[in-house]
Amino acid sequence: MTANGQTGKTFRLLLVLLLTVMAVGLGYAVLELHSSAGGLSKQVATNLEASGVSNPVTAVLLNFRGYDTLLEMAVLLVALIGVWSLGGIPDYRESSPGPVLDTLSRLLVPMLILVAGYLLWVGTHAPGGAFQAGSVLGAAGVLLLLSGWRLEKIFAGLPLRVILILGLGAFVTAGGGFLLIGNVFMEYPSALAGELILMVEAAATLSIGVTLAALFLGGRPEAGLDK
Amino acid sequence: MEALTLLQWVFDSLLVLCLFWLAGRALASPDLFKAIVLFIAFGLLMALAWVRLDAPDVALAEAAIGAGLTGALLLAALARLKSMGDLYRDDSDCGETKGDDS
């Protein structure tokens, strides 16, 4: 017992030492930073016209640095595949949601869908965008799942999977389609960029929302293949 | 104007202190449910911090994903851990009784 306590104490001391070294290192790194790093905001502002949207954040996420967003969505999809590979849905004891949750979800879900649509639309010129809209849509899905709603078995097979990959598919199609006319990957022609970004964002919103709700469900929904 | 900047300083300092306190409590809490609730509160205050840093886009994402959906996911995972924990506890009980017998 005492030997155990001794090792615990040594371990704790070692941990404190390591953390102190790391904190000192981080502090040193922050202090060594140049105080006047220019950043890329000026470059974004000068090229904003060509991106097709007037919100610089959306311009960076969906156009200038589209790769990052594309890979983020791929990560989300891989996470869902990982969760699904762990097995089916555990047998929850089905409980009736109760009048408050039932009424509230009936009121809130249409409003959440409306808010998601608004965030998606407003993302082109003000704070908002696909990830925010998608997460609001996902929250609506979580609320529905909490109040006992389940996906119909007919839709749990292919239709669900199509929606899950819709965002990634639209992104890759829009990014790769213009390879044919000689652009580099993910270079949109600036005349079409605004519409393209809105379409990609709409597909991404749907996919992100459904992926997040499916992650909350935590298991592959049973598909009714026999139907 | 002076009073306004002073007020902002006070608000920011309180925000930072609250964030550190919530993060510490969430990490140190032995009760996982409590830790998750503290984490959700941390996410909401973090969204406020992003607003103070003039990053409304990140604030929206933080409030929706960081505080909302991650909290729901963690609570769902906790519910599953608990049902699995009951299963394992039953197993270990069996093992202990066997050990006593021998």
User: pLDDT tens across A157-190, in order?
Assistant: 788 889 999 989 988 888 888 777 777 777 777 7
Domain ranges of chain A: 1-33, 44-217
Chain-centroid distance of CA A166 in Å reads: 13
Give the mean pLDDT of A48-63. 80
Tokens of B41: 């509160």
Compare CB distances from B73 to A90, A136, A216 and report the shortest one's residue.
A216
Q: Is the Cβ of A53 closer than 8 Å to some Cβ of chain B?
A: no
- Measured CA to CA, the distance from residue B55 to residue B41 in angstroms comes to 19
**Residues of chain B found within 8 Å of residue A128, distances taken between Cβ atoms:** 57, 60
pLDDT at A72 over 60: yes
Compare CB distances from B68 to A127, A128, A139 and report the shortest one's residue.
A139
Q: How far is B101 from chain A (nearest CA, A)?
A: 26
Give the mean pLDDT of A141-169. 85
**Residues of chain A found within 8 Å of residue B69, distances taken between Cβ atoms:** 135, 138-139, 142, 212, 216
pLDDT in the model for residue A226: 45
List, in order, residues 6 or more apart from A49 with CB less than 8 Å away.
A190
Structurally, chain B folds into a number of domains equal to 1
pLDDT in the model for residue A35: 72
pLDDT in the model for residue A19: 94
Give the mean pLDDT of A113-131. 87
Reduced to 3 states (helix: H, G, I; strand: E, B; else coil), residue A165 is helix
The DSSP line for A2-45 is HHHHHHHHHHHHHHHHHHHHHHHHHHHHHHHS-TT---SHHHHH
Q: How far is B54 from chain A (nearest CA, A)?
A: 11
Kindly report the average pLDDT of chain A as a whole number.
83
pLDDT at B92 over 60: no
Q: How far is A6 from chain B (nearest CA, A)?
A: 22
pLDDT at B101 over 60: no
Whether the Cβ atoms of residue A53 and residue A125 lie closer than 8 Å to each other: yes
Optimal mutation site among B40, B53, B69, interface A, most CBs of chain A within 10 A:
B69
Q: Is the Cβ of A73 closer than 8 Å to some Cβ of chain B?
A: no
Interface contact flag, B64 A127, Cβ < 8 Å: no
Whether the Cβ atoms of residue A40 and residue A138 lie closer than 8 Å to each other: no
pLDDT in the model for residue A209: 92
pLDDT at A222 over 80: no
Cα dihedral A129, A135, A138, A140 sign: negative
pLDDT in the model for residue B90: 56
Q: Which DSSP symbol is given to A127?
A: S
% of chain A residues with pLDDT over 90: 25
Q: Is the Cβ of A90 closer than 8 Å to some Cβ of chain B?
A: yes
pLDDT tens for B2-55 read 778 899 999 999 999 999 999 999 999 999 999 999 999 999 999 999 999 988
pLDDT at A25 over 90: yes
pLDDT at A95 over 70: no
Give the mean pLDDT of A44-72. 82
Least confident window among A47-61, A72-86, A202-216, B20-34: A47-61
pLDDT in the model for residue B89: 61
pLDDT in the model for residue A92: 58
pLDDT in the model for residue B100: 41
Tokens of A44: 């974004």
pLDDT at A31 over 70: yes
Burial environment of residue A11 by CB neighbours within 10 A (0 to 12, 13 to 18, 19 or more): exposed
pLDDT at A153 over 50: yes
**HEC letters along A192-226:** CHHHHHHHHHHHHHHHHHHHHHHHHHCCECCCCCC
pLDDT at A88 over 60: yes
Whether the Cβ atoms of residue B29 and residue B35 lie closer than 8 Å to each other: yes
Asked casually if ipTM beats, i.e. exceeds, 0.85, the reply is no
pLDDT at A91 over 60: no
